[in-house]
A and B are shown apart, each in its own frame.
Chain A
Amino acid sequence: MLYFSPWKVALTIGACVFGILLAIPNLVSKETAAEFPPFLPSKQVTLGLDLQGGAHLLLQVDMEAVIKERLQQELDSVRTALRDARVLYTSLSVEGNAVTVKIRQDADVDKAMQAIREIEGGSAITILGTSSGPDFSIERRDGNVIALVLTEAAIEARRNAVLDQSIEIVRRRVDELGTREPTIQRQGEDRILLEVPGVQDAEGLKKILGTTAKLTFHLVDTTATAQDAAEGRISPSSMVLPADPETHGPNDPQQYVVRRTALVTGDMLTDAQPQFRNGQWAVSFSFNNAGARRFADITQENVGRPFAIVLDNKVVSAPVIRSPILGGSGEITGGFSTEEANQLAILLRAGALPAPLDIVQERTVGPGLGQDSIEAGIKASIVGMIAVVLYMWLAYGAFGLVANFALLINCVMILGGLSLFGSTLTLPGIAGIVLTIGMAVDANVLIYERIREELRNGKTPLSAIEGGYRHAMSTIVDANITTFIAAFIMFWFGSGPVRGFAVTLSIGIATSVFTAVVLTRMLIGTWVRRRRPKTLYL
């Protein structure tokens, strides 16, 4: 039992040396670590945002708006389809996840069903693209009512597509800001986790993420007067949009009547840049080929008429087309400040979000606080360690010193483990290390107390030590598995800092069993076999 084959000794020492090597890069600066020869590990512990400072934002995609938009779209197509088929209907509306329409005459119901089926056949391919079946299932209900129900599969597919697209847009926008190493992750069904180290002020980030930046160009409906708009007497193919208060003064129009169909959309842009011209800031943009061609055609056909530049359903400006714009580029003006023009250009370059984003959680930590936390954590670790080491020495003498040596190796190995797994060290994680220092000696306490018992029962030193380790083993395993269960559940349910704590605790459990059981047994066993003490003072 207390004999160790050479390969076992080599393995144990090897594991310790490996742990120490893994921990070493943390003692030097990042630059020095990067210059380590390739056979040495150079990875450092990643500090959590609470320690190095930075911004953590949890964004929620407004899926309800996505579904609502899809239903509204369907409602528009149904209206067009029924009009084209010359079917009269009474009420056409969105109810829950369905569009319902009531056909006026019984005789028309079949014709209406036919017309609706046709639009449904088309939408599955053109609008969604990814879904395998149609987005809507068509039901015929009592009282000449036809319902188009948005299927669960379609909602699910849409959710995923929207979330993936949102992540992409968020990534592009954050990259545009020139921040270093942002982390962007999908979280759950409708959330995006964004972590940007080093950012002290999340306001700028929040501003560029809080805007959808959906840019569209519409012809202005010149047949409708302001009074028509106010009274709602406008053609079904037109809509009323408010003027953007930031670009419109009190004497400018407060709302516009524009054609529903967008002529050109922001996804056809290839570039956007802030420009300073004639004493004011503007954003110039250029279209891709398809966009340029459409823009050219439309401006050619509508010279002399106004068109509206619409950003997030607000009219930024409505200039009159003076001459056909054939070059595929244009400019948005509207009394922007430098910052606003710059921001709008970033947003246009990065593209529109498919749905609005809500910021549901924010954590920003300044670098000063992070540094203070690290210092406090290190101080607490050192003082805690000294107290435990002193106590173990007083209580178990030389055996205590062996346990203390194991504890020291344990701390180094935790650091090495954190570096190896690339896990993030958070403030609660430091607390986890301090706690592990206190609890790691438990295994040694169990063993030593057991050895004392064996000695009291009259065993020889050698067999007492052997028995102590053997008997304590099952208890040590049970005790550590239970702590591990708690850590695992913390990791499963927890987020951010709590996860960091769980990871540190788990690594601490694994390394402490190794150092407190395997390492100390080897040290004490070797000593006992060499010296063959007649009595053991423990």
Chain B
Amino acid sequence: MKFRLKLIPAGTRIGFVRVRFFAFVISGCMALASLGLFLVHGLNYGIDFSGGTLLEIGTDGPADIGKMRSELNSLGLGDVSIQEFGSPNDVLIRIERQDNATDEQDRQVVAMVREALTKNVDPNIEFRRAEFVGPQVSDELKRQGFMAVSFAILAVLIYIWFRFEWQFGVGAVSALVHDVIMTIGFFSATGLEFNLPVIAAILTIVGYSLNDTVVVYDRIRENLRRYKRMPMRELLDVSINETLSRTVVTALTTLLALIALAVLGGPVIRDFSLAMLFGVIVGTYSSIFIASPILLLFKVRNGKEAVEAGKESKSGAGA
């Protein structure tokens, strides 16, 4: 077979660095918007973080959600949300955390809901899943999730610093913080459930985006040694272009697997898959448009080289 699918032709010379200010402004605005959304609109926390009770039930035919709602509202459990989950025969019930209840009552919520539904709605309901998260645990999980993401970013900063230079560490971490903020903004905007697996997704996004960034950085480091006199700006462009085909192909294979997961993996991990899908796209963008151009803001070469390089670029030397 002689045909080869090449999404990116060989020897591209796209001026990624030229549009850096444009990219910085766009990313800055998006990040601000994400933070704003997060502060104003908040996140649709799953019960892992908000505490409360969740039940997933299955019925033989399409579920009578209206009847379930009126039955459960009469139990006086506060805010009860009932929605279809994946199919009309599948219903997800969420009950807010019972702040004024004793532990005893709190423990009874699942039993009460079970009884009310089997007695008054449908005796053949299948109880597929029940989860209860107490307030002690939910606050702790929130803190742990925050710590995990922070520690991951810190660990990365240290690793990159050891393997490269501190400037690279700062660049990579800026890109990561950018990705994490964007993902949170995505969850705030879409109202998708933000739960424990999503934290895992964010950490994986951190790993993926970094993976992408490191590949470009490795090439930049190699080219810094090879083209001692090439101006930094040009060198960055060359490095990004040289790795562009790999960046796109890997993003694509990962996206293919994730799309399969989002469509076929079942409703329980759909939000997780969507977070990953979004993260892979943002992570790919950030390693090209943020992580590398940001190196221009710091002097990666020592001063002398930069001056010489500047002279050379005026005379039009290149790779």
A and B assemble together: yes
Q: A residues near B, CB below 8 A?
A: 50, 58, 60, 200-203, 206, 210, 358-366, 368-369, 372-373, 376-377, 379-381, 383-385, 387-388, 391-392, 394-398, 427-428, 430-431, 434-435, 437-439, 441-442, 445-446, 449, 452-453, 456, 471, 474-475, 478-487, 489-490, 492-495, 497-498, 501-502, 505, 537-538
How many residues on the B side are at the interface (Cβ–Cβ under 8 A)? 80
In the complex formed, the residue of A with least CB distance to B249 is: A445
Beta-carbon contact of B4 and A397 below 8 Å: yes
Q: What residues on A are CB-neighbors of B246 within 8 Å?
A: 442, 445-446, 449
Q: What residues on A are CB-neighbors of B25 within 8 Å?
A: none
Q: What residues on B are CB-neighbors of A428 within 8 Å?
A: 197, 200, 269, 272
**In whole angstroms, how far apart are the Cα atoms of A203 and B211 in the complex?**
46
**In whole angstroms, how far apart are the Cα atoms of A394 and B256 in the complex?**
14
**In whole angstroms, how far apart are the Cα atoms of A479 and B230 in the complex?**
26
In the complex formed, the residue of A with least CB distance to B242 is: A453
**Sample (30) of A-B pairs whose CB atoms are under 8 Å apart:** A60-B136, A200-B127, A210-B107, A359-B103, A362-B132, A365-B128, A368-B58, A369-B56, A377-B266, A380-B263, A383-B260, A385-B257, A388-B253, A395-B6, A395-B249, A427-B266, A427-B269, A431-B269, A431-B273, A438-B256, A439-B208, A479-B211, A486-B207, A486-B210, A490-B200, A490-B203, A493-B147, A493-B151, A537-B2, A538-B4
**In whole angstroms, how far apart are the Cα atoms of A314 and B56 in the complex?**
37
Q: Does B206 belong to the interface (CB within 8 Å)? A: yes
Q: Does B165 belong to the interface (CB within 8 Å)? A: no
**In whole angstroms, how far apart are the Cα atoms of A435 and B203 in the complex?**
13
**In whole angstroms, how far apart are the Cα atoms of A479 and B247 in the complex?**
12
Given contacts A391-B256, A395-B7, A434-B265, 14 further A-B pairs with CB under 8 A are A210-B107, A373-B268, A381-B260, A395-B4, A395-B6, A439-B250, A449-B249, A452-B10, A474-B218, A475-B215, A478-B215, A490-B148, A493-B148, A497-B196
Given A384-B257, A431-B273, A442-B250, the answer on whether A368 and B155 have CB atoms closer than 8 Å is: no
Q: B residues near A, CB below 8 A?
A: 1-7, 10-11, 56, 58, 103-104, 107, 110-111, 114, 126-134, 136-137, 141, 144-145, 147-148, 151-152, 155-156, 159, 163, 196-197, 199-200, 203-204, 206-208, 210-211, 214-215, 218-219, 222, 242-243, 245-246, 249-250, 252-261, 263-266, 268-269, 272-273, 276
What are the 7 A-B residue pairs with the smallest beta carbon separation, nearest first? A438-B257, A486-B207, A384-B260, A376-B266, A438-B254, A493-B148, A360-B134
Q: What residues on B are CB-neighbors of A442 within 8 Å?
A: 211, 246, 250, 253-254
- Minimum CB–CB distance for B113 against chain A, Å: 11
In the complex formed, the residue of B with least CB distance to A482 is: B210
Beta-carbon contact of A360 and B137 below 8 Å: yes
Given A60-B136, A384-B261, the answer on whether A483 and B4 have CB atoms closer than 8 Å is: no
Beta-carbon contact of A362 and B130 below 8 Å: yes
**In whole angstroms, how far apart are the Cα atoms of A358 and B222 in the complex?**
58
In the complex formed, the residue of B with least CB distance to A484 is: B207
**Main secondary structure on B side of the interface with A:** helix
Q: What residues on B are CB-neighbors of A395 within 8 Å?
A: 4-7, 249
- Minimum CB–CB distance for A447 against chain B, Å: 9
Q: What residues on A are CB-neighbors of B155 within 8 Å?
A: 485, 489
Beta-carbon contact of A363 and B214 below 8 Å: no
**Main secondary structure on A side of the interface with B:** helix
Given A376-B265, A428-B272, the answer on whether A359 and B256 have CB atoms closer than 8 Å is: no
In the complex formed, the residue of A with least CB distance to B267 is: A376
Q: What residues on B are CB-neighbors of A379 within 8 Å?
A: 264-265
Q: What residues on A are CB-neighbors of B264 within 8 Å?
A: 376, 379-380, 383
**In whole angstroms, how far apart are the Cα atoms of A380 and B131 in the complex?**
25
Given A387-B257, A439-B250, A479-B215, the answer on whether A485 and B152 have CB atoms closer than 8 Å is: yes
**In whole angstroms, how far apart are the Cα atoms of A490 and B263 in the complex?**
25
- Minimum CB–CB distance for A292 against chain B, Å: 35
Contact of B128 among A60, A368, A481, A494 (CB under 8 A): A368
Given A362-B130, A435-B276, A482-B156, the answer on whether A497 and B197 have CB atoms closer than 8 Å is: yes
Q: What residues on B are CB-neighbors of A377 within 8 Å?
A: 265-266
**In whole angstroms, how far apart are the Cα atoms of A387 and B260 in the complex?**
9
Residue from the set B107, B219, B252 with the largest chain A CB neighbour count within 10 Å? B107
- Minimum CB–CB distance for A65 against chain B, Å: 12
- Minimum CB–CB distance for B49 against chain A, Å: 12
Q: What residues on A are CB-neighbors of B148 within 8 Å?
A: 489-490, 492-494
Beta-carbon contact of B266 and A475 below 8 Å: no
**In whole angstroms, how far apart are the Cα atoms of A449 and B249 in the complex?**
10
**In whole angstroms, how far apart are the Cα atoms of A437 and B255 in the complex?**
11
**In whole angstroms, how far apart are the Cα atoms of A452 and B243 in the complex?**
12
Q: What residues on B are CB-neighbors of A372 within 8 Å?
A: 266
Q: What residues on B are CB-neighbors of A394 within 8 Å?
A: 3-5
Beta-carbon contact of B266 and A391 below 8 Å: no
- Minimum CB–CB distance for B259 against chain A, Å: 8
Q: What residues on A are CB-neighbors of B276 within 8 Å?
A: 435
- Minimum CB–CB distance for A48 against chain B, Å: 12
- Minimum CB–CB distance for A493 against chain B, Å: 4
Beta-carbon contact of A369 and B137 below 8 Å: no
**In whole angstroms, how far apart are the Cα atoms of A439 and B209 in the complex?**
12
Beta-carbon contact of A203 and B256 below 8 Å: no
Beta-carbon contact of A434 and B196 below 8 Å: no
Beta-carbon contact of B265 and A445 below 8 Å: no
In the complex formed, the residue of A with least CB distance to B260 is: A384
